[in-house]
Structure 1
Amino acid sequence: MSSTNDIDAILQKLTIPQRIKLLAGRDLNHSEPIPELDIPSLRFSDGPNGARGTKSSIGLGSSFDVDLVKAVGEALGEECRAKSTHVLLAPTVNTHRSPLGGRGFESFSEDPHLNGTVASAYINGLQSKGVGATIKHFVANDQEFESSKILMTGEVSERALREIYLKPFQLAIKHANPWALMTAYNRVNGVHASESSKLLQDILFKEWGYRGFIISDWTGVYSTVECLNAGVDLEMPGPSVMRGPALLRMLMAQKLSLSDIDKRVTNVLRLIQRAKESGIPFSGPEGSLDTPELRQLLRRAAADSIVLLKNDKQTLPLKNDYKKIAVIGPNAKIAVPTGGGSAGVLPTYTVSPLQAIQEASKHTGTEVEYMIGALSHKYLPGIESHIYQPNSQRGALLEFWNEEPTTAFVSSFGDSTPPPVWSTLTLASNCLLFDGVYSAKFKPDEDGDWEMGLNVTGHAALYIDQKLIVEYVLGAPVNTFGAAEVRGIAMDLKAGQEYDLEVRISNASFVTSGLPFPFWGFVRVGGARKVDEDATIREAAALARESEVVILVVGLNNDWETEGADRQGMELPGRTNDLVLEVLRANPNTVVVNQSGTPVSMPWIDEAATVLQAFYGGNELGNGLADVLFGRINPSGKLPLTFPEYRVRLEDNPSFPSFGDRGQESGKIHYNEGIFVGYRGFEIRKLSPLFPFGFGLSYSKFEYCNLETTEVSSDGRFHVSFNVSNVSQVEGREVVQLYISDSQSSRPRPIKELKAFTKVHLTPGQTKNVKLALDREALSFYNEADMCWVAESGTFGILVGVSSTDIRLEVEVELKMTFTWTGL
């Protein structure tokens, strides 16, 4: 297939059953092939944070650096090519409506302009390598509360839908044109997104002129005729549930026509044509990509995502003459590259903060001592770094039986702590029923009693040196992204000693009807030394007291931020806050590093002089953090979302009354905050956040002057220019942010809205003139009554600043005549 004529010719050769076959997946990650007509199977890979991952999207958003994001997109394209993947199921541009959203780490921002602009760079980078991007989830898929994303309807005003939730998709389609778009699980104003003719036909196709491919979210198809006629080309995953024979029956009953089917088939064939032109093999090997250049890019991306929140005593960057550094905290030793769910990753390698700090201190002779201090996991950390084969190969031997002959597989993997989603080992079987044995040499790294945990589908028992430690019985709770963990205690283990670890599994009576996907079984083994947290907090404080500086790494992980569950509150888990307070009191020269994809409360913030927000930094998160700590990289990240004031807690958030179980009312969740999401809501209510949107400090100091604008054209185009100077002795990069205010509007509008930004690199003493181009997007709001965008005549404020609350320059421009439009 190389042209429209070729596609038409292929279409005419397809029988009706073959056409219907093309409209649903073959399995979890592939489309159906028609070999006799040279129609191959497309390969899809999940990947908001990589082709099974590089870093979290929220971290890319905090960089405010479109060039960096494009480079990461290019690297993801190369990674996809290595995996013979034709379409990456990313980026995610769902709006950060609440800090509790379980999948918040997958998206870029609470602000639609930043969200859409960063997504465009990501898509352009990825697709430059011949790999299709899938922008998702269309639309208003911003919470995981129980079954709300499937059963309940989000009641969203037309204006909020257009200005907040659809806007990132609109910008990305305008500036990057992704190959594919994924529909959301949820209903929008009463209609499932995958069945919404308004969203897909009226807005996406007719108004925006989109001509790409529409794919369902996995099991996100709930009808046969409605979904197909709305515009969903491919039902995933396979085998089909709502299409296949059901679609053939609907055709026979004339509930739809062959031309309706052919529209969808044509789009499938177009996507296959694009994939063929890319040169990526079909059914090719799933390789990996690991080069020094890629590692350096990931390290830069990790560092540039870090936001310096406080540096009151100029503790950072750290000096090179410390004799002893204490590294404390539950996120220090175990690398947490990203959150959980379908965005979870099994990276080829990771670098933890502790590893990177130890490496950075080797050449200075500084002693680095570690202590966990407190626990923060919901599930016990995975034991991947502690298990080996007799030949010292990392990993476990998995043997399983469905029928004779016996089949054995060896699985090996690098250091990681994957969530129970998808499993540490997914059984490579095409059957649902099996018996198996998972075995390895287990080598703990600490003396003491170890708590061991099991997550499996079915019935399993874990043995260490032939002694039963924990048994997982059939009937333990199972949900979309993992079974509940069952734990037991292995007594008096010795660090460095090898123990025989064995898990015996049977899922012969496991019923998969409660799961959305046809899982073939999984097993996850977790383990950690059992500790007395009162004692460990005291010990951590004692270590802090005897050290010159403390690096305290705390936060969330993929247990707490994951698909399938929203957070219940903003508090850090377990005894984390107690640990932070005790360490700060023991040694005020403490750098607190919080790692999370969404805001957390910080009741210790007044006591802390130095605070970093690290997000999830991917494979190189540790090295990126160390580069910022020791001054090899000057931090330049800015917060892509608002951190609420901890004293008022969760109730400060604009979405609080209508998010999760609070928002339920007769199967509806009301988006009562309307357009006032994130910083827009804080400002309209005159609430001061803990840290505002766009905030982030530097080791440099910058000044602004000479703000000028051109006249606004009749179609809303104009330019803004100003000077930025580095008035320090430290080379640095500054994210300049331009906001628009419209106090004369006939409709309520936010106090200000981000409409442009760029990152400026400045050497000491250097001044640069920054020029930003703006258009009608910067001046407009959506008029629900007339169903169009409108830019009203009048005076607009141009505000240039370093955050949403720190404005350095202001000027006004005038639009002389009102005008309206629809479309992109």
Structure 2
Amino acid sequence: MVKTLDVDSLIDQLTLEEKISLLAGNDSWHTVPIPRLGIPSLRVSDGPNGVRGIKFFNGVPSNCFVCGTGLAATFNKSLLKNCGQMMGQEAKARGVHCILGPTCNTARSPLGGRSFESYGEDPVLSGYAAASIVAGIQSEKVSACLKHFVCNDQEDERKAVDTYLTERALREIYMKPFQIALRDAHPNVIMTAYNMIDGEHVSQSKRFLQQILRHEWKFNGAVMSDWFGTYSTKEALDAGLTLEMPGPTRFRQIVQTSHKVYSNEIHTDTIDQNVRDLLNLVNESIKPDIGENIVERENDDPAAEALLRQSGAEAVVLLKNTGILPLDKKTPQKIVILGPNAKVCQDSGGGSASMAARYKITPFEGIVKKVKEGGNKATIEYAIGAHLDKNLPDVADVLVSKGGNSGSISVTFYQHPSGVEDRNELTSFEMTTTKVFLADFKAPKLDPNELLYYADLEAHYKAEESGTYEFGCSCLGSAQLFIDGKLVVDNKTKQVRGEAFFLGMGTREEKSDVQLVKGQTYHIKVEFGTSPTALVAKEFKEPGGVYFGFRLKSTPKDELAKAVQIAKDADTVIVVAGLSKEWESEGFDRPNMDIPGYTNQLIEEVTKVNSNVIIVNQSGSAVTMPWIDKVQAVVHAWFGGNETGNTIADVVFGDYNPSGKLSMTFPKRVEDNPAFLNFGSTNGKVWYGEDVYIGYRFYEKTKTDVLFPFGFGLSYTNFEFSNLKIKPVKSEIHVSVTVKNTGKIKGAEVIQVYVSPVESKIPRPIKELKNFDKVELAPGKSVSVTIPISIKEATSYWDGYKNKWSSDKGTYKVLVGNSSDNILVEGEFETDKSFNWLGL
């Protein structure tokens, strides 16, 4: 049984130096302990779609959930709570006291690099999704850290950009998800945004951290900076930024900070209050009695795999179906699978959300397995058709390590470079990736502060075909790639700045052509030196890393021709398209809304020779679909986590009846997006000129046609809504509707409740989502669903004159449907008085 800390007593016993030390991280993933007083170190871990643990480099593989926009697409609060609970359980297996998630920033534009981490464009959907995940995590006594408060909605100059927006947009759109999550789930920690608002960084803003968060919303937890998102000493402490992360500190050094206290620039009460908030977090976080120095382990519980598969399947959105789906897995047929994402598991977007998944099921594997389960004698053929990679792909799966293990490479670290007689080996690993990033690499023989060391990456490759292969290598540091001892790629003596690595810190990928003979085995070796050996990007004080890959060289025309040829006589063609973590990631925004490369051309050409084309798209946000009228079906599968391939196959073959609904609008063109003219940093500023008209609010107000509306998703069955009843119950209205499955198979439907004032003093959206529920019904069955809605939440807008929420007396429409543009039943309710309010 863990003993609760006596916070008041500890504050009296702690020295000033100890207090200051508690207010910054000890390292990237731990807080500072005070052993003499029994104050333990807390461990945190990235966790928007799973719990990575404390290592970027060669970490313990994780269970990766579907990305945030996909989780929100389930519209299933209880399922999301179960996902959060599983994350909490996995955190304890990693010795993690606090998960850095969920992310409930707003997908203001489909170009946002981290849109996939969010829960979409609607603040109510995002708020309920975040609250459900937080409740699940904290049911395991693990702390959730809700992030990034607030308006951290783009990657362009994210630490420097100054955001300008109306108070109404701030309150109704961008702060609302945080407000709902605090009201319903009480997260123990809030992480601040990188950006400024109205000229002040949020992480040192008394307005946001004191006036709104603590006084208005009564938040009494800890506030943590994002990594390197602290910009001052006094201002941040005065505002109540409890914890600067990561450590070691940049702004809370003992000598400098204590000097500010002794000179009365920082009040001792300010230090004590921040320490109090930190120690209260320690008390919350030690409840699970995780223990110290726990050895991280994988969670291979079948229940975890089942939940990954269920949540992934419920996230899949069927966007178009002329009747071709579901496919019959028992009917003999020729199925051709094409596309760059077919034999790759696009489990997550890039950046802090990415992790080493414990296992990965590709769409190709999922489909082949499904056909075999049905006893089908179908012929399945494959061609890539078009490449997606910015750089040459990870090739570990086709390599053999020095130890003879397939799917692995050998990595040996040294104190000295190649050619030195006694290189002093530091350590060695076998790794299942050819993309090595040393963010938190440690070795027993290496000083933790030493950045200069070396590594050899080695493996064998047995050529699958004869021909010209393209080898490539990029690095943060220096690297040379050898085949059978011959230098093939030189990224050491000549380097050009590129976009490799997190936040684009590395070099351009250098490439070279090599002739290989089918059946012959080749020795591949990369000699790497860490960042101090670099000729470019020398400003980054990181150990660095190296990526290498190769593939049989071909032209886009050649790949396209192969795909079209095998598609001609296929009974069904499945093209698995979309994006990857190279295109959607923390660190940069997308340049446009198009699928990159030749994928669109591949789809266009295949539809000319085959009329039965199904598109499976994987992306965390919207993409353009210029071929939409030429294909028979479109399945949107997001970034699907470990079970990506199985969930896609479950939907395509009808073992799961799709029930996902879009968590964001898919516009026809990026130019139609309301943030189009105001997205990205312009001389360090961004103006949210669309105000409250984001997503469907804008498209409906301007009568702009979209490709697919918010909340949209098809099913293999049909549903009927009827018998709408609206009943006032104290401070709520209870909206009841009968839902009937009028089709022939079991399915689930989402009931979306929107509210609109009949008359309004100010311009308002046509309607706004206020709550939702999801039900599963057997064919022919019906059920009455009651959805409660807070009257003040349903009717209020932010009154900029009174600087409060305002609810006006009047009549309000209740619009119930299964998407934002498909209202099936509607009614009204009235309020008998006007009032203003603040708080949660």
Is contact 1:317–1:628 with CA below 8 Å preserved after alignment? no
Structure 1 CA distance for aligned equivalents of residues 309 and 703 of structure 2: 39
Match of 1:248 in 2: 258
Match of 1:801 in 2: 817
Alignment of 1:209-608 (within 5 A): 209-244=218-253, 245-362=255-372, 363-393=375-405, 394-402=407-415, 406-414=424-432, 422=437, 426=441, 428=443, 430=448, 431-443=450-462, 445=464, 447-473=466-492, 476-477=496-497, 480-482=502-504, 483-494=506-517, 497-507=520-530, 509-510=532-533, 518-608=541-631
Could you tell me the TM-score, scaled by structure 2's length? 0.93
Structure 2 CA distance for aligned equivalents of residues 493 and 229 of structure 1: 64
Q: 1:559 to 1:508 in 2, by over 3 A?
A: closer
Superposed CA deviations along residues 740-764 of structure 1, whole A, max 9, x for unmatched, are: 0113111111100001111110100
Q: 1:62 to 1:5 in 2, by over 3 A?
A: closer
Is contact 1:361–1:368 with CA below 8 Å preserved after alignment? no
Structure 1 CA distance for aligned equivalents of residues 23 and 536 of structure 2: 23
Question: Are 1:767 and 2:782 matched, yes or no?
Answer: yes
Question: Are 1:93 and 2:104 matched, yes or no?
Answer: yes
Query: 1:315 corresponds to which letter in structure 2?
Result: L
Match of 2:23 in 1: 23
3-state SS, counterpart of residue 137 of structure 1:
strand
Question: Are 1:783 and 2:799 matched, yes or no?
Answer: yes
Structure 2 CA distance for aligned equivalents of residues 412 and 323 of structure 1: 41
Q: Percent identity?
A: 41
Match of 2:40 in 1: 40
Of the structure 1 ranges 188-197 and 516-525, higher mean CA displacement relative to structure 2 is found in: 516-525
Match of 1:755 in 2: 770
3-state SS, counterpart of residue 108 of structure 1:
coil
Q: 1:617 to 1:445 in 2, by over 3 A?
A: farther
Q: 1:513 to 1:333 in 2, by over 3 A?
A: closer
Of the structure 1 ranges 113-122 and 380-389, higher mean CA displacement relative to structure 2 is found in: 380-389
Match of 1:194 in 2: 203
Of the structure 1 ranges 494-503 and 165-174, higher mean CA displacement relative to structure 2 is found in: 494-503
Q: Using the TM superposition, give the Cα deviation of residue 383 of structure 1 relative to its aligned residue in structure 2, in angstroms.
A: 1.8
Is contact 1:117–1:168 with CA below 8 Å preserved after alignment? yes
Of the structure 1 ranges 217-226 and 461-470, higher mean CA displacement relative to structure 2 is found in: 461-470
3-state SS, counterpart of residue 287 of structure 2:
helix
3-state SS, counterpart of residue 630 of structure 2:
coil
Is contact 2:470–2:552 with CA below 8 Å preserved after alignment? yes
Q: Using the TM superposition, give the Cα deviation of residue 37 of structure 1 relative to its aligned residue in structure 2, in angstroms.
A: 2.1
Is contact 1:355–1:622 with CA below 8 Å preserved after alignment? yes
Match of 1:614 in 2: 637
Q: 1:33 to 1:402 in 2, by over 3 A?
A: farther
Superposed CA deviations along residues 546-584 of structure 1, whole A, max 9, x for unmatched, are: 211111100000000011110010111111110011112
Structure 1 CA distance for aligned equivalents of residues 268 and 181 of structure 2: 32
RMSD in angstroms over aligned alpha carbons?
2.2
Alignment of 1:705-724 (within 5 A): 705-711=722-728, 713=730, 715=731, 717-724=732-739
Q: 1:729 pairs with 726, 744, 750, which one?
A: 744
Structure 1 CA distance for aligned equivalents of residues 222 and 527 of structure 2: 44
Q: Using the TM superposition, give the Cα deviation of residue 2 of structure 1 relative to its aligned residue in structure 2, in angstroms.
A: 7.3
3-state SS, counterpart of residue 299 of structure 2:
coil
Is contact 1:228–1:264 with CA below 8 Å preserved after alignment? yes
Query: 1:500 corresponds to which letter in structure 2?
Result: H
3-state SS, counterpart of residue 709 of structure 1:
strand
Q: 1:712 to 1:294 in 2, by over 3 A?
A: closer
Question: Are 1:105 and 2:116 matched, yes or no?
Answer: yes
Is contact 1:591–1:611 with CA below 8 Å preserved after alignment? yes
Structure 1 CA distance for aligned equivalents of residues 517 and 640 of structure 2: 33
Question: Are 1:143 and 2:178 matched, yes or no?
Answer: no
Q: Using the TM superposition, give the Cα deviation of residue 611 of structure 1 relative to its aligned residue in structure 2, in angstroms.
A: 0.6
| Structure 2 spans left out of the alignment, 5+ residues | 53-63, 417-421
Superposed CA deviations along residues 381-438 of structure 1, whole A, max 9, x for unmatched, are: 2123123323333433322233788344343455x797x8x46995655221112212
3-state SS, counterpart of residue 381 of structure 2:
strand
Q: 1:800 to 1:179 in 2, by over 3 A?
A: same
Q: 1:688 pairs with 705, 716, 721, which one?
A: 705
Query: 1:744 corresponds to which letter in structure 2?
Result: E
Q: Using the TM superposition, give the Cα deviation of residue 512 of structure 1 relative to its aligned residue in structure 2, in angstroms.
A: 12
Q: Using the TM superposition, give the Cα deviation of residue 527 of structure 1 relative to its aligned residue in structure 2, in angstroms.
A: 2.6
Could you tell me the TM-score, scaled by structure 1's length? 0.95
Superposed CA deviations along residues 563-606 of structure 1, whole A, max 9, x for unmatched, are: 11100101111111100111122211111011100100010001
3-state SS, counterpart of residue 349 of structure 1:
coil
Q: 1:261 to 1:512 in 2, by over 3 A?
A: farther
Q: Using the TM superposition, give the Cα deviation of residue 313 of structure 1 relative to its aligned residue in structure 2, in angstroms.
A: 3.1
Q: 1:496 to 1:227 in 2, by over 3 A?
A: farther
Q: Using the TM superposition, give the Cα deviation of residue 11 of structure 1 relative to its aligned residue in structure 2, in angstroms.
A: 2.0
Alignment of 1:613-652 (within 5 A): 613-645=636-668, 649-652=669-672
Aligned structure 1 segments of 4 or more residues deviating by more than 6 angstroms: 1-5, 511-517
Structure 2 CA distance for aligned equivalents of residues 802 and 412 of structure 1: 50
Superposed CA deviations along residues 155-213 of structure 1, whole A, max 9, x for unmatched, are: 01101000000000000011111111100110011110101111110100000000111
Query: 1:359 corresponds to which letter in structure 2?
Result: K
Structure 2 CA distance for aligned equivalents of residues 822 and 491 of structure 1: 68
Q: 1:517 to 1:117 in 2, by over 3 A?
A: farther
Q: 1:817 to 1:212 in 2, by over 3 A?
A: same
Provide the aligned length of Structure 1 versus Structure 2: 811
Query: 1:365 corresponds to which letter in structure 2?
Result: K
Of the structure 1 ranges 233-242 and 690-699, higher mean CA displacement relative to structure 2 is found in: 233-242
Structure 2 CA distance for aligned equivalents of residues 800 and 122 of structure 1: 25
Structure 2 CA distance for aligned equivalents of residues 304 and 5 of structure 1: 42
Superposed CA deviations along residues 286-319 of structure 1, whole A, max 9, x for unmatched, are: 2111122211111111111110001013332445
Structure 2 CA distance for aligned equivalents of residues 142 and 388 of structure 1: 42
Q: Using the TM superposition, give the Cα deviation of residue 493 of structure 1 relative to its aligned residue in structure 2, in angstroms.
A: 3.0
Match of 1:660 in 2: 680
Query: 2:414 corresponds to which letter in structure 1?
Result: W
Match of 1:207 in 2: 216
Structure 2 CA distance for aligned equivalents of residues 40 and 753 of structure 1: 46
Structure 2 CA distance for aligned equivalents of residues 236 and 512 of structure 1: 30
Is contact 2:438–2:543 with CA below 8 Å preserved after alignment? no
3-state SS, counterpart of residue 151 of structure 1:
coil
Q: Using the TM superposition, give the Cα deviation of residue 530 of structure 1 relative to its aligned residue in structure 2, in angstroms.
A: 1.9
Superposed CA deviations along residues 580-638 of structure 1, whole A, max 9, x for unmatched, are: 11112221111101110010001000111211111000000000000001110000000
3-state SS, counterpart of residue 281 of structure 2:
helix
Match of 2:838 in 1: 822
Q: Using the TM superposition, give the Cα deviation of residue 257 of structure 1 relative to its aligned residue in structure 2, in angstroms.
A: 1.5
Is contact 2:495–2:507 with CA below 8 Å preserved after alignment? no
Structure 2 CA distance for aligned equivalents of residues 5 and 283 of structure 1: 20
Structure 2 CA distance for aligned equivalents of residues 424 and 539 of structure 1: 41
Q: 1:23 to 1:503 in 2, by over 3 A?
A: same
3-state SS, counterpart of residue 502 of structure 1:
strand
